[in-house]
């Protein structure tokens, strides 16, 4: 599937950065990190439910980008490559967490909510309800199996196409759609009390 002109231009810029990084260009690396760090940190935070750990994992993602620059081949969009590395590190961390005691998402919810809450646009009551809903969504997403969770995060928060998500997760497009369908059904059930209140 052809990229739209803006997306193609952005991807070419990333490929150019990677060529320069392969030559040891630290300025190009800084530009690349600056361009993509918020998307990576946000994705990791949504996957792990921990803004604090997200920055550490994101740092590891970009260290891998730096180290692998000489081997990089632009066979897919750069962001597909970037989020494939992100996926691997997140899934590794998820497995490590199963071995050690997992920190509860509820304990981190306050920090997560305050970091992303828009404090000027809503009344205190609305802000509280929005924050509660955001926490409930985060908790529901965190309970999903890891591939479903990653598919939801990339689709909802990174606005990725099914084809890109398929490449990141190593699945077919139909399998991605199936993962998203199952995830939405689970989320709808988890968030039923909030959704019923809106009707």
Residue 22 lies in a domain: yes
- 122, burial (CB in 10 Å: exposed 0-12, middle 13-18, buried 19+): middle
Rounded to the nearest integer, the mean pLDDT of the chain is: 83
DSSP 191: T
Number of domains in the chain: 2
Q: Does residue 29 or residue 121 have the better pLDDT?
A: 29
Per-residue model confidence (pLDDT) at position 137: 82
- Give the range of the structural domain holding residue 83, as residue numbers without chain letter: 1-103
Domain boundary among 52, 82, 103: 103
Residue 177 placed within a domain:
yes
Closest CA to 16 of 6, 5, 27: 27
Residue 195 in any domain: the answer is: yes
Model pLDDT for residues 47-82, shown as the tens digit of each residue: 887 777 888 999 999 999 999 999 999 988 999 999
Q: Do 14 and 78 contact (CB within 8 A), yes or no?
A: yes
What is the distance between the alpha carbons of residues 58 and 198, in angstroms, rounded to a whole number? 36
pLDDT at residue number 114: 42
Higher local confidence (pLDDT), 112 or 147: 147
Q: Exposed, middle or buried, 159 (CB in 10 Å: 0-12/13-18/19+)?
A: exposed
- pLDDT of res. 64: 96
What is the average per-residue pLDDT within 179-188? 91
């Amino acid at each position: 599937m052809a990229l739209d002109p803006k997306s193609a231009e952005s991807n070419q810029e990333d490929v150019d950065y990677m060529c320069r990084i392969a030559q040891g260009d630290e300025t190009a690396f800084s530009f690349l990190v600056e361009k993509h760090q918020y998307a990576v940190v946000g994705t990791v935070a949504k996957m792990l439910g921990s803004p604090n750990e997200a920055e550490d994992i994101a740092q590891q993602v970009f260290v891998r980008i730096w180290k692998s620059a000489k081997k990089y081949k632009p066979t897919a969009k750069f962001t597909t490559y970037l989020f494939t590395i992100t996926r691997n590190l997140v899934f590794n961390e998820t497995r490590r967490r199963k071995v050690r005691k997992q920190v509860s998402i509820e304990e981190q919810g306050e920090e997560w909510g305050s970091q992303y809450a828009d404090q000027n646009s809503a009344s205190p009551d609305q802000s509280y309800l929005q924050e509660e809903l955001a926490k409930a969504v985060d908790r529901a997403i965190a309970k999903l199996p890891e591939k479903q969770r990653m598919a939801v995060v990339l689709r909802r928060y990174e606005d990725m196409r099914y084809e890109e998500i398929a490449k990141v997760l190593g699945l077919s497009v139909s399998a991605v759609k199936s993962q998203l369908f199952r995830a939405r059904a689970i989320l709808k059930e988890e968030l039923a009390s909030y959704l019923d209140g809106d009707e």
